[in-house]
Amino acid sequence: MKFAIVLVALLGFCAAEKVRFDNYRVYKLTINDEEQLRAVQQLEDQDRGYTFWDFPAAVGQEVDIVVPPHKFADIQEFSAAYGTPIEVKINNVQELFDQENPLVTPRSFGWTAYYRTADIYEWLDHILEEFPGVTSGFVAGQSYEGRQIRGMKISYKEGNKGIVIEAHIHAREWISSATATYVINELLRSNDPEVRDIAENTDWYIIPVTNPDGLEYTKDVNRMWRKTRRPNSGSTCVGTDPNRNYAYNWMQGGASTNPCSETYAGPQAFSESETRTTTEWVYNNIQDLRVYVSFHSYGQYILSPWGHTTTSAPNYNHLREIMEASRTRIAAVYGTQYTIGSTAATLYVASGTSHDHFYGQQDNNIQIAYTFEFRDRGQYGFALPASQIIPNSIETVQGLIGFLADIKCEMKVFGVLLVISLLGGNWAEKVKFNDYKVFTVQPETEDQLKALRSLEHDSVASFDFWTSAKNVGQKSDIMVAPGQMDEFRTFLEENHLEASTY
């Protein structure tokens, strides 16, 4: 009897601790000049009871802010003082959360509800049992609170290039893990020829929940939680934004040193177990990784590097072509429109992100990295109803087909050229190399190295790389056709590279 009383008391305490957002509103602020931008940035960086769903980074940006009822007058006064246009987007945030998940969770795992970490992991175990020949499970890392960060590899044959999908790194973005599990299911079960093509000709490494502590906290306590759950020394504020915690160009803009900020980057790069251990696992366990994708919400964007600067990435034109192919496939399903571009130039400056890190590090072969920001554009925000999981996921699979098909097309071109060069006999007799030159190029900076990699990847029909530089200071030997000399010299000038000839 005493145990029952204690249990009831504890349950009552837990229920009372869960944060509710009754009558909280989402306001949209529009930033029109530099003074307004600085004011909104200061508002975001201070702990004044607001929750920012967007992060102020540029003039012209629209920022969604969750405001409690007792702060309505304050935000209106702020708007009047600085002249920032303001409007109500959502009248009652709690109503959205109440409608987000079905009242009765389905008995079997599916895509009509949002699930907890343990449910997702249990489903992964069922998949591993059902598809033992092509799937294998892995533990990519461990969270601060000791939870495993699990993933699944799908591989139908040896020799495939690898793609990583990292999902649910931000706790409140439930649609990201739901979509990741749907992608796993489609890669294994779909009979669509295009899905079978990408499933069987790519090795997939999918991590559905990168921030399990945060996900559980959104289920038990605060639905709007974004960060990790590690306490911060010297502060009562908990957690770090894991997608500002990666090492490449850490704290170079769009991140905060304030532990109470939603974009707090941590005391140093890779301070968070979630980012550090999963990155180490990727580097240590995937030999031929070519593509890195991060699933997020919301806003309907496909974003490429860079996040820390508006300067274009070395192979940005190619990255944009791939994004365009993906956007076209997505729109063909339900008409959903995605915006494409680099993170900093299209959305906002954000340094220390996962896709910048894996794209920017010189000790890997990744030249293609993206962030998907899923549905919607603000009607529901992070509280996207579970009824939209399946349509969002269907679109995403089509988006993956779109950009992998574009990459595959280039590889086919390379394969044809390689076969022709190896045929010998009459073909070989007809191939002449009059006035071709071989140049030696030695990159001295990471940007120069990335530019060379981009040239090798994007221009296989024009330039023949005899050797490839893998690190700064290493040499590349490149054969250039007479008709491509001007293009090659322009490339050298633009990237401040020097070349010598054999």
Query: Any idea what DSSP says for residue 264?
Result: B
146 DSSP 8-state letter: S
**Residues 306, 323: Cα–Cα separation, whole Å:** 14
Q: Which residue has the tokens 């893990």?
A: 177
Radius of gyration of the chain (CA): 25
77 is catalytic: no
Pick the catalytic residue: 186, 272, 373, 456? 373
- Cα-Cα-Cα-Cα torsion 194, 198, 200, 201, nearest 10 degrees, comes to 120
Tokens linked to 379: 């009607």
Q: Is the preceding peptide bond at 406 cis, omega within 30 degrees of 0? A: no
Q: What's the token pair of residue 106?
A: 């389905």
The first and second tokens of residue 407, run together, are 């990459």
473: phi > 0 → left, psi -120 to 50 → alpha, else beta; which?
left
Q: Tokens at residue 320, please?
A: 């944009």
Both tokens assigned to 113: 């509800």
HEC per residue, 327-371: HHHHHHHHCCCCEEEEHHHHCCCCCCCHHHHHHHCCCCCCCEEEE
Q: What amino acid positions are annotated as catalytic residues?
A: 373
